């Protein structure tokens, strides 16, 4: 009886390890695909933020022409739409225990994306509300 239990435990553990590897691989593939789109949208969003800062001196978003403000808002929204799922997938990738030897890099990436999303949302709110955003500076 005890031997059968040990065999079942060994089978379960090997299947669990395989499932974890498979889940890590799946998450890794998703993150790889998201990474390229994230970088593209992030570059556009950062360029827009520089333009907004130049137009407004970091304060008055009313100086931005409404057509430009709308186009810039759309670009920032596109960045948030890709950034949020990427952050979620990175957090899940870390929680599952994938790439244990790269936890510092994963934590740094999580911090960077979190900060980028915080700034993007503040700027988006400023464009929508017309109120100044201190994060422009």
CA angle 105-36-86, nearest 5°?
60
Structure confidence at residue 45 (pLDDT): 84
pLDDT tens digits along 27-72: 999 999 999 899 898 888 888 877 777 776 655 677 777 888 888 8
Could you tell me where the DSSP H helices lie in the chain?
2-56, 66-96, 103-129
Q: Contact 74/124 with Cβ under 8 angstroms?
A: no
Structure confidence at residue 31 (pLDDT): 92
- 17 or 130: which leads in pLDDT: 130
Rounded CA-CA distance 17/33 in Å is 24
Closest by CA position to 117, among listed 89, 60, 76, 71: 76
Structure confidence at residue 66 (pLDDT): 80
């Amino acid at each position: 009886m005890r031997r059968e239990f040990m065999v079942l435990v060994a089978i379960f553990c090997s299947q669990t390890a395989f499932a974890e590897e498979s889940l890590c691989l799946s998450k890794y593939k998703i993150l790889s695909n998201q990474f390229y789109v994230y970088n593209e949208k992030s570059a556009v969003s950062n360029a827009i933020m520089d333009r907004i800062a130049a137009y407004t001196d970091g304060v008055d978003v009313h100086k931005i022409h409404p057509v430009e403000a709308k186009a810039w808002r759309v670009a920032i929204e596109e960045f948030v739409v890709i950034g949020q799922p990427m952050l979620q997938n990175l957090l899940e990738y870390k929680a599952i225990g994938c790439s244990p030897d790269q936890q510092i890099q994963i934590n740094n990436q999580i911090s960077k994306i979190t900060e980028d999303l915080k700034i993007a949302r503040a700027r988006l709110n400023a464009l929508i509300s017309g109120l100044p955003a201190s994060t422009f500076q």
